[in-house]
Chain A
Amino acid sequence: MPKDGGIGASTKRREDIRFLTGNGNYTDDINLRGQAYVHFLRSDVAHGRLNKVDTSTAEAMPGVLRIFTGKDFEGVGGLPCGWQVTDRFGEVMQEPGHPVLAQGKVRHVGDPIAAVVAETYAQARDAAEAIELDIEELPAVVDMKKALEEGAPLVHDDLKSNLCYDWGFVEENKAAVNEAFEKAAHVTTLELINNRLVANPMEPRVAVGDFNRSTGDSTLYTTSQNPHVIRLLMGAFVLGIPEHKLRVVAPDVGGGFGSKIFHYAEEAFCTFAAKALNRPVKWTCSRSEAFMTDAHGRDHVTKIELALDAENNFTAIRTDTYANMGAYLSTFAPSVPTWLHGTLMAGNYRTPLIYVNVKAVFTNTVPVDAYRGAGRPEATFQLERVIDKAARELGVDPIALRRQNFITQFPYATPVAVEYDTGNYHATMDKLEEIADFAGFEARRAESAAKGKLRGLGINCYIEACGIAPSNLVGQLGARAGLYESATVRVNATGGLVVMTGSHSHGQGHETSFAQVVADMIGIDAAQVEIVHGDTANTPMGMGTYGSRSIAVGGSAMVRATEKIINKAKKIAAHLMEASEADIELKDGKFSVAGTDKSVAWGDVTLAAYVPHNYPLADIEPGLEETAFYDPSNFTYPSGAYACEVEVDPDTGKVTIERFAAADDFGNIINPMIVSGQVHGGIGQGIGQALLESCVYDENGQLQTGSYMDYAMPRADDVPFYQVDHSCQTPCTHNPLGVKGCGEAGAIGSPPAVVNAVVDALQRSGRNITHIDMPLSPSRVWQAMQG
C-alpha cells in the first residue's frame, strides 16, 4: 500500500480549499490599477463586405478612450496557425489570413469589427451601439458539401476555393484498400454526422493586458491552458514582442476542454491596446459572446465502410469525411481531422488495410478546433457505430465480433502509422462485463417493459493516442512546434521543494497529484512539495495541457528533474558521511550508507547545498535546482470498454440513461480519485453530445444556439451515477511513470455507447432502425420510430 500522499493514493486535493471558500484567483478576479475596459463590436451577419465603419459619433461618447478598427492592425501580424497539413497531392493546405480585427470582410457571426475601450464596461457597450456600420451582406456558405460546389461563394477571396485540404491517409494504401473491398464477403456502410459542439468551460474567457512604461514589458493575464504557447504565438507572430519582454499569466482557469488552448484575437488586442493607451485593458467574455467566438468542436460528416471476410474478420476500412474548419484556421485546427483522427481509425482491431480521406472546408461559421478528445472521438464514434451495425447485419453478438478482431499482440504497428506499445483489450472487456452486470440486463429489460419502456444495451471500445507528442514525429506531420514538456525542481535550504512545470492545471488537480509523485520519489511528506504553474515568468518553457498529456509528458519531465536532484543530493550525502556515492541509498527522506547505520536526513543535505561549509566544492556546485525537458518517444495509448443502458419512452422518444459503466486502462495511476473524476466528467460531456448538445446554424449562417437557453448543456438530472473502473493496468512502456493519461477517455468512449444502446432498444422492439444522428433528442428518436 502506498503511504498517504504518495503514488497511488487518493489524496484529497489541496487546491479545493481555495476554490471552496471563494478564494480562487481566476482571471476575471484580477483588476489592475487604472484599468480600462474593452467591448468588441461583432458582426451580426455571417458574410459581408465592410464598406464603412464610422466611429466618429461613438468616439465622442462619455468615457470612451479610443476605438480601434481593422485599420489599426494593418501593420500587425494575423493570428497564426500552428499546424500545416500537406494534401494527398503533395500540396500544402490553403491557409488564409486571420486578422485581429476584421479587415475588408466579416466571415462569421461574431467576427470582431471594432474594439471600444472606455473607462467602464457600460460606457464601452453604450458607445459600440453608436458605431455606424455599412456592411454589404454576401451569400454565406454553411453546408460543407455546398461550400465545395463550383461557383460557391468564397469565404476568402484570395483563396481559389473553400477547400482547405484534401487529405488521404495512407494514400499509398488506397488501391489495396479498394481491392480488399471488392473481395469482401460482407461490407457494412454507415453515413453519420459528428455533431458540432461548443466546449463551454464554465468560466468564460477573460484577458487583461498591461504595459509597464518603465521597463517596456507587456503582461497578459489570460484564461489559457498553455501560457507559453500564447506568449510564443502572440509575441513572435502577432505583435512582434520578444519573449523576454512579454509575460503571460494563466492563473486559476475554470475549465478548458481544449477551447482555451488556442490563441485568440482578444488576447492580442488587450496586450496591444494596453501599450497603445498606456493603461491596463480588460475584456471579460459574456456567455453569449463565447458561443460565437470560442473555437467549436467536432462537426464532421462521414461515410465509413467496413469490409469483412467470410469468417467475420475485418479486412479493410474506408472512410470519407468532410471536416468543418469554420471561417479561419484556429491554432491547431488542421491537425484535428487528420493526425488526431486518421491515425486512430484502426481502433482496438486488427484491420490490415485502412484508407481515410478528409476534406477540410472553410465555411462562414466560428472556427472549429480541438475539443476534449479532438479527432479521436470522431474516429471512435464512426468505427464503433459501423461495427455495431455490421454485427446486426451478420446476426452476430457485437461483443463477440469485437473480441474476435481485437489486437492481442504488442507492440502493434497499425496500418495508419502509429505503434501501440501495450494494452489488453480482452481484460477491459472482461471487466466491463462484470461491472456493468450484463448478466442482469434481461431482468432489467423486463422491468422496463413492464413500465412500457424500451430498454437497450450499447457497448463500445475505444483507443486514443495521448501523451502528445514526439516532437520529431509531429514535425514531420506538419506541427510548427515541439511538443515536449518541462519542469524545474527547486529545493530550498530547509528541504521544501517547488516544482515549476510547463503543464497547466485548470481542473485536473496537478497541484495535488504532481506533488504526490515528487514526494514519493524522495520519501517526504507531500505537503513539502509545492507545484507552480501558469506563469511564463516563473516556469520553464513548456507546451501546456491538452491531449491528456500532463502526467505522461509533464509528469515525466518532473520525474527526470527530480532524478537529477536525487543524484546530486546523493553526492552531497556521500561527502557528508565520507562514503562512496555508489553506496548511498535514499529511502523515506533519509540518505544512508548501504550496510552501515550511518545516515543523514534530507534536510541536512539540502541545508549543506545552500550553506556549503562542509561541501565538495571542488566536485559540484552549491545549490539544489534542476531542470529537465522531456520529449516522449511515442504517444501513449489508453484504451477501454464502455457500456450504456438506456430506456426509451415509445410515446415521446425521450431517452434516459439508466446505467453507465466504464472500464479503462490508463496504465499506472497516481491518484485514483482524480482519475475517476476525469472519467466522470468526460462521460458527462459524451452523454451531452449523444443526447442533448448541438451547435446549429441556419442556412444564412445565423447561430441558432447562442446561449444556454438554446444550447442544451447536460444537467444533474440528465445523467446517472457512473460505474468506473481502472484496475486493468498495462503500464506505458516508454515513460518513467508508466502512465498513459486519462483526461479525454470519457468523452471519447461514451457517445457510441449511448447511440448503440438506443439503436439496440429500438431494434429489440422490432423497429428496423440502424442509425440516428446525434443528439438523440426526443423529436429525432420519435421521428425515427414513426418509420
Chain B
Amino acid sequence: MPEVKMTVNGKPASGQIEGRTLLVEFLRETLGLTGTHVGCDTSQCGACVVHVDGKAVKSCTMFAAEAEGAEIKTIEGMAEPDGTLHPIQQAFQDHHGLQCGFCTPGMVMSAAALLAENPTPTEAEVRDYLEGNLCRCTGYHNIVKAILAASGQDVSRIAAE
C-alpha cells in the first residue's frame, strides 16, 4: 500500500492507504481524528468539511492520496492549545448553535471558510453559503445567528434565544 504524507493541524501526518481510501477515512481511522463526521454517502450533508490548503472541502469527496503534501485543518485544530475556543466555536456555544453536535464540526469549518472569504456576510449570504451543510436539530436559526455574531455583527435584534 502506498504511503501518504500531509500536514494536519500543523503537525506532520502520514500513513498507509489504499487507492480508494477517502480523506475522511484517513483522518478518522488512521489518524484517529474522529471530530470529522460522516453523515451521508452522496456528499450532501457537510458533516465532514475540513480545510485543505485553506479551502473548505468535503473530505468524503476527496481521496487521501489527493491530499499528498497538503495543509489540512480539522475541527480538532480550531481551538487554541490552551483550550480557548476559536471565536466561531465560542459563538456557537453562546448562541446555542448546536444540539446533538454531529453536524457541528462541518458547520464550524464551513463558517470559518465563509468568514475568511466574506468577513461580514448578510443573513442571506450565510444561509446561501451553508447550502452544503445539513443540520436536523436547530432549524438553522441559532447557527445563522452564531455565524453573524462571530463576524462581529450585532445579533441582539434577532429573535431572542
> Which A residues lie at the B interface, using CB under 8 A?
10, 12-13, 15-24, 26, 28-29, 31, 122, 200-204, 252-255, 257, 286-288, 506-509, 672-674, 676-677, 680-685, 687, 707-709, 713-717, 719, 721-724, 746
| A707→B96 CA distance, assembly (Å) | 29
Q: Which of B20, B138, B158 has the most CB of A within 10 A?
A: B138
Asked if B40 and A287 make an inter-chain contact with CB atoms under 8 angstroms apart, the answer reads: yes
Asked if A29 and B34 make an inter-chain contact with CB atoms under 8 angstroms apart, the answer reads: yes
| A507→B47 CA distance, assembly (Å) | 16
The number of chain B residues with a CB under 8 A from chain A is 61
4 residue pairs, one from A and one from B, having the closest CB atoms: A22-B35, A684-B139, A19-B101, A254-B102
Asked if A255 and B159 make an inter-chain contact with CB atoms under 8 angstroms apart, the answer reads: no
- Please give me the residue from chain B that is nearest to A200 by CB atom: B136
* Given known A-B contacts A682-B139, A684-B138, A287 and B130 have beta carbons under 8 A apart: no
Could you list 10 examples of A-B contacts with CB < 8 Å?
A: A19-B100, A254-B103, A287-B40, A287-B45, A508-B99, A673-B96, A716-B143, A716-B144, A717-B128, A721-B159
Asked if A721 and B42 make an inter-chain contact with CB atoms under 8 angstroms apart, the answer reads: no
Q: Is B154 an interface residue when CB atoms closer than 8 A count as contact?
A: no
Asked if A203 and B134 make an inter-chain contact with CB atoms under 8 angstroms apart, the answer reads: no
* Given known A-B contacts A21-B35, A708-B45, A721 and B76 have beta carbons under 8 A apart: no
Q: Is B38 an interface residue when CB atoms closer than 8 A count as contact?
A: yes
- Please give me the residue from chain A that is nearest to B108 by CB atom: A20
| A676→B104 CA distance, assembly (Å) | 18
A746–chain B nearest beta-carbon distance, Å: 7
| A708→B18 CA distance, assembly (Å) | 27
B59–chain A nearest beta-carbon distance, Å: 13
Asked if B78 and A507 make an inter-chain contact with CB atoms under 8 angstroms apart, the answer reads: no
* Given known A-B contacts A22-B74, A716-B131, A254 and B101 have beta carbons under 8 A apart: yes
Asked if B159 and A723 make an inter-chain contact with CB atoms under 8 angstroms apart, the answer reads: yes
One of B45, B104, B105, B131 near A717 (C-beta < 8 A): B131
One of A201, A716, A746 near B130 (C-beta < 8 A): A716
For the complex with contacts A204-B38, A255-B137, A287-B40, 8 further pairs of A-B residues with Cβ separation under 8 Å are A20-B98, A21-B89, A22-B33, A22-B105, A31-B29, A677-B142, A717-B130, A719-B140
Asked if A12 and B136 make an inter-chain contact with CB atoms under 8 angstroms apart, the answer reads: no
| A257→B136 CA distance, assembly (Å) | 9
Asked if A202 and B127 make an inter-chain contact with CB atoms under 8 angstroms apart, the answer reads: no
- Please give me the residue from chain B that is nearest to A10 by CB atom: B161
One of A17, A204, A721 near B39 (C-beta < 8 A): A204
| A684→B127 CA distance, assembly (Å) | 14
Asked if A16 and B126 make an inter-chain contact with CB atoms under 8 angstroms apart, the answer reads: no
Asked if A721 and B158 make an inter-chain contact with CB atoms under 8 angstroms apart, the answer reads: yes
A144–chain B nearest beta-carbon distance, Å: 27
Contacts of B131 in A (CB 8 A): 715-717
Q: Is B65 an interface residue when CB atoms closer than 8 A count as contact?
A: no
* Given known A-B contacts A122-B18, A713-B136, A722-B159, A20 and B93 have beta carbons under 8 A apart: yes
Contacts of A506 in B (CB 8 A): 100
A18–chain B nearest beta-carbon distance, Å: 8
- Please give me the residue from chain B that is nearest to A255 by CB atom: B100
